[in-house]
Amino acid sequence: MSKSKILIIDDEPLMREYVDEALRRAGYETVCAESGREGVERLREEGFDVVVTDLKMKPMNGLEVISTVKADSPDTHCIVMTAYGTIETAVAALKSGAEDYILKPFAPDELELAVSRALERGRLAQENRYLRSQLRSSHDFKTMVGDSAAMREMYAQVEKVADSRATVLVRGESGTGKELVAHAIHYSGVRHQRPFIKVNCAALSAGLLESELFGHEKGSFTGAHERKVGRFELADTGTLLLDEVSEISPELQPKLLRALQEREFERVGGNHPIQVDARIIGTSNRDLEQAVEEGKLREDLFFRLNVITITLPPLRERREDIPALMGHFLKRFAQENGRQIDGFSDDTFKAFQEYSWPGNVRELQNAVERAVVLSSDRVLQPEDFMLQGTRVKPSGDNNGGGLRAGMTVAQAEKDLIIKTLEHCGQNRTQAAKLLGISVRTLRNKLNEYKQ
């Protein structure tokens, strides 16, 4: 392991030698400079992990050295040595970019501790940058699977909106990948290094959701033993994902509307407005226009959420992406489970292309994972898969569907309704439109069938 390089800058020979000897004994590689200008020149020639500089020097003082170092080499950490231990001196040094300062005279272990802290901060910063870059690359829209026309259109929309501040509404059936798109928008844009905060609006009651979104003050309700910062505040300068935003209760919708319009809110029990700069992304699998008509969603809130809409197509409408998704999930789950799986049979590909995928990509993913874990073959056959609780049969064996002689009109109607619901992923509004009947009629029919 290579030694960390330290640049020592001081115009006093005795102090320069003292610092040099102390750091060499601690195992560091050191270089000395007797002026600020010489130190900057050495930095530009070689590069160092840490610069330890005196504050009072001429013609270039320590503050000017630090400013130059930070401009030329942002990853180099600076420590100031000074005999003028005033608060003003320390503040000036830190404002210039120094990470630490030590007061003359100091013991060798004080110097070693300051250098060690600076190097540790550098290591953590580097590790944090690496993790953020990994996180960004894993959520970038370029890692999403699918090359259909519908997916290419969606990728283009993500690129256009990624850097904007506008609210985005991602719509689509359950399992289409709405949260993946939200991640892609955030990590492809200028806010990718800022927080990405998510809240599931369908999973919490109105009271709990209000506290989660906006936070609360100590004593604002029973059990509020301390102040809590809400998700809006946590997402400041970043992105807030309101997952299933259409499920927010009517009594909470006005407060959410204000937060979206004004970027301002109060904590529960508070009376001081808090302003945040959070980019909002909402997702929903509901027919929002119908929710507005039924009074379940405020029209003004819908318009505020619906600034830019990205609609994800169901898998049955982009069947050309199914083979690529199959291969993607096979590779992933085979690697995770230590299995050697060569691929899928032709019958499996055909069966997957013919299936309606009411659960969309999530259902496909789960089906492949289960088959990879349980199959004893290296080529996955149709019978290795369970879809909607039924084992898949090869395409030529599926003779039971459709109309057949002798079946009643009522039975034909029932089969048609059930198959249409499967095709629409159990979305009754879409199914009713395809069948040419009202949602109420469809609901009554299902009650007759006891579905």
Q: Give the confidence band of 399 by pLDDT, cuts at 50, 70, 90.
A: very low
Low-confidence winner among 12-26, 215-229, 266-280, 286-300 (lowest mean pLDDT): 215-229
**Is 22 domain-assigned?**
yes
Q: Give the confidence band of 401 by pLDDT, cuts at 50, 70, 90.
A: very low
**Is 206 domain-assigned?**
yes
Q: What percent of the chain has pLDDT over 70?
A: 90
Residue 366 scores a pLDDT above 50? yes
CATH code (residue 360):
1.10.8.60
Q: What is the mean pLDDT of the segment spanning 301-309?
A: 95
> Which residues on neighbouring strands pair with residue 169, listed in sequence order?
282, 309
| 154 and 102 part of one domain | no
**Is 27 domain-assigned?**
yes
pLDDT tens column, 175-205: 999 999 999 999 888 998 889 999 999 998 8
* Number of domains within the chain: 4
Residue 395 scores a pLDDT above 60? no
Verdict on whether the full-model pTM lies above 0.75? no
Q: pLDDT at position 398, please?
A: 43
3-state SS of the chain is CCCCEEEEECCCHHHHHHHHHHHHHCCCEEEEECCHHHHHHHHHHCCCCEEEEECCCCCCCHHHHHHHHHHHCCCCEEEEEECCCCHHHHHHHHHHCCCEEEECCCCHHHHHHHHHHHHHHHHHHHHHHHHHHHHHHHHCHHHCCCCCHHHHHHHHHHHHHCCCCCCEEEECCCCCCHHHHHHHHHHCCCCCCCCEEEEECCCCCHHHHHHHHHCECCCCCCCCCCCECCHHHHCCCCEEEEECHHHCCCCCHHHHHHHHHHCEECCECCCCCEECCCEEEEEECCCHHHHHHCCCCCHHHHHHHCCEEEECCCHHHCHHHHHHHHHHHHHHHHHHHCCCCCEECHHHHHHHHHCCCCCHHHHHHHHHHHHHHHCCCCEECHHHCEECCEECCCHHHCCCCCCCCCCCHHHHHHHHHHHHHHHCCCCHHHHHHHHCCCHHHHHHHHHHHCC
Distance CA 246, CA 302 (A): 9
Residue 409 CB burial class (10 angstroms; 0-12, 13-18, ≥19): exposed
Residue at which a domain ends, from 106, 131, 156: 131
Give yes or no for a contact between 224 and 218, defined as CB atoms under 8 angstroms apart: yes
CATH code (residue 46):
3.40.50.2300
The two structure tokens encoding residue 111: 């110097």
Q: Which residue has 């007797």 as its token pair?
A: 34
For the chain, the straight-line distance linking the first and the last C-alpha, in angstroms and rounded, comes to 68
Q: How far is residue 427 from each of residues 163, 273, 367, 420, 436, measured CA to CA in Å?
A: 33, 40, 21, 9, 14
Residue 283 scores a pLDDT above 70? yes
pLDDT tens column, 119-164: 888 887 776 665 655 555 555 555 578 888 888 899 999 999 999 9
Q: pLDDT at position 451, please?
A: 46
**Is 403 domain-assigned?**
no
- pLDDT, averaged across the chain: 86
Q: pLDDT at position 392, please?
A: 72
| 214 and 187 part of one domain | yes
Residue 286 scores a pLDDT above 70? yes
Q: pLDDT at position 432, please?
A: 83
Q: Please, what is the Cα angle at 323 between 318 and 324, to 5 degrees? A: 90
Position with higher pLDDT, 274 vs 409: 274
Other CB atoms within 10 A of residue 445 CB: 18
Q: pLDDT at position 259, please?
A: 93
Residue 13 scores a pLDDT above 80? yes
**Is 414 domain-assigned?**
yes
| 226 and 150 part of one domain | yes
Give yes or no for a contact between 227 and 267, defined as CB atoms under 8 angstroms apart: yes
Residue at which a domain ends, from 263, 278, 313: 313
Low-confidence winner among 143-157, 273-287, 294-308, 310-324 (lowest mean pLDDT): 143-157
Q: What percent of the chain has pLDDT over 90?
A: 52
| 338 and 307 part of one domain | no
| 158 and 303 part of one domain | yes
| 163 and 236 part of one domain | yes
Determine the angle formed by the axes of helices 62-72 and 36-45, rounding to 10 degrees. 20
| 309 and 322 part of one domain | no
Whether residue 195 is preceded by a cis peptide bond, meaning omega within 30 degrees of 0, is no
Give yes or no for a contact between 23 and 32, defined as CB atoms under 8 angstroms apart: no
Q: pLDDT at position 34, please?
A: 93
Q: pLDDT at position 444, please?
A: 83
Position with higher pLDDT, 418 vs 1: 418
Q: pLDDT at position 426, please?
A: 82
Distance CA 159, CA 146 (A): 16
The tally of CA atoms less than 13 A away on the side-chain side of residue 351 is 24
Other CB atoms within 10 A of residue 137 CB: 11
357-380 per-residue burial string, b: 16 or more CB within 10 A, e: under 16:
bbbbbebbbebbbebbeebeeeeb
**Is 214 domain-assigned?**
yes
Residue 219 scores a pLDDT above 50? yes
| 299 and 331 part of one domain | no
Residue 396 scores a pLDDT above 60? no
**Is 401 domain-assigned?**
no
Q: Give the confidence band of 388 by pLDDT, cuts at 50, 70, 90.
A: low
Q: What is the mean pLDDT of the segment spanning 326-341?
A: 92
**Is 288 domain-assigned?**
yes
Residue 264 scores a pLDDT above 80? yes
Nearest partner of 213 among 166, 171, 186, 248, judged by Cα: 248
Give yes or no for a contact between 46 and 38, defined as CB atoms under 8 angstroms apart: no
Q: What is the mean pLDDT of the segment spanning 232-259?
A: 93
| 149 and 294 part of one domain | yes
Residue 254 scores a pLDDT above 80? yes
Residue 73 scores a pLDDT above 50? yes
Q: pLDDT at position 288, please?
A: 93
| 193 and 55 part of one domain | no
Residue 94 scores a pLDDT above 60? yes
The domain of 109 spans 5-131
Q: How far is residue 321 from each of residues 83, 178, 184, 313, measured CA to CA in Å?
A: 69, 17, 19, 11
At a CB cut-off of 8 Å and minimum separation 6, what does 335 contact? none
Q: pLDDT at position 400, please?
A: 42
